[in-house]
């Protein structure tokens, strides 16, 4: 005959009978089987203690089998076919109690200095918590600065109709000052030369631009 777990609530003793010796004796004495209301924090519950999570450096104690694991969720489903909800109810563990060690899912790493302040770290990451926050603030400020509208660069412009007419009607002694004024207002020399019927070489020789080059 195969072994099975005792039918009493919270008992994980393997037995060939419906009840283990302890609970069979309890029934014979007329005390009945324990219920969830009979158990108090600190009472035995399986391989652990009712209402408590046994947490050590080696891992979390499983109340069902007595082994320790970094996280009980997957173990309960695979080894005992239990959900975390049923496990918590069976052993009186509150929802606020984590069933995983703090470092579960985070591989251990040799001690190394923080990349900014030099503080010795023993968890993965290049920065300590304080430097990480500082770095995030710096990134947010940089993104905010990039989001601000940038000043529009002044580029070359074309002649307006009025400026074109003024060039054509200007007296010879007024052409020089008018060309200089138009050049300062970012009108291209090629545009002025085309209106006057002159070449760009003539413009460069007789009316050189004071700030000749790429517009700023």
DSSP string, 136-202: HHHHHHHHHHHHSPPPPPP--BPPPHHHHHHHHH--HHHHHHHHHHHHHTTB-HHHHHHHHT--HHH
Residue with tokens 């283990």: 20
Task: Judge whether residue 194 has pLDDT over 80.
Answer: yes
Average pLDDT value for residue range 152-169: 82
Task: Judge whether residue 163 has pLDDT over 70.
Answer: yes
Q: What residue spans define the domains of the chain?
A: 4-91, 112-147, 161-206
Confidence at residue 152, expressed as pLDDT on a 0 to 100 scale: 59
Q: In this prediction, what percent of the chain has a pLDDT beyond 70? A: 80
Task: Judge whether residue 213 has pLDDT over 60.
Answer: no
Task: Judge whether residue 144 has pLDDT over 60.
Answer: yes
């Amino acid at each position: 005959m195969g072994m099975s777990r005792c039918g009493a609530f919270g008992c994980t003793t393997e037995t060939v009978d419906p009840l283990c010796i302890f609970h069979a004796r309890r029934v014979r004495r007329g005390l009945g089987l324990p219920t969830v209301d009979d158990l108090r924090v600190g009472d035995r519950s399986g391989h652990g203690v009712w209402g408590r999570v046994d947490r050590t450096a080696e891992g979390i104690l499983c109340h069902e089998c007595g082994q320790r694991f970094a996280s009980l969720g997957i173990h309960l489903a695979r080894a005992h076919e239990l959900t975390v909800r049923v496990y918590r109810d069976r052993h009186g563990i509150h929802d606020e109690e984590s069933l995983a060690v703090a470092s579960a899912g985070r591989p251990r790493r040799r001690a190394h200095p923080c990349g900014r302040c030099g503080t010795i770290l023993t968890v993965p990451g290049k920065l300590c918590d304080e430097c990480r926050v500082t770095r995030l603030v710096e990134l947010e400020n940089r993104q905010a600065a990039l989001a601000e509208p940038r000043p529009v660069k002044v580029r070359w412009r074309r002649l307006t109709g009025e400026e074109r007419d003024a060039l054509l009607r200007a007296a010879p002694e007024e052409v020089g000052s008018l060309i200089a004024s138009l050049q300062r207002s970012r009108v291209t020399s090629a545009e002025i030369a085309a209106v006057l019927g002159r070449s760009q070489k003539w413009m460069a020789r007789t009316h050189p631009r004071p700030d000749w080059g790429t517009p700023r």
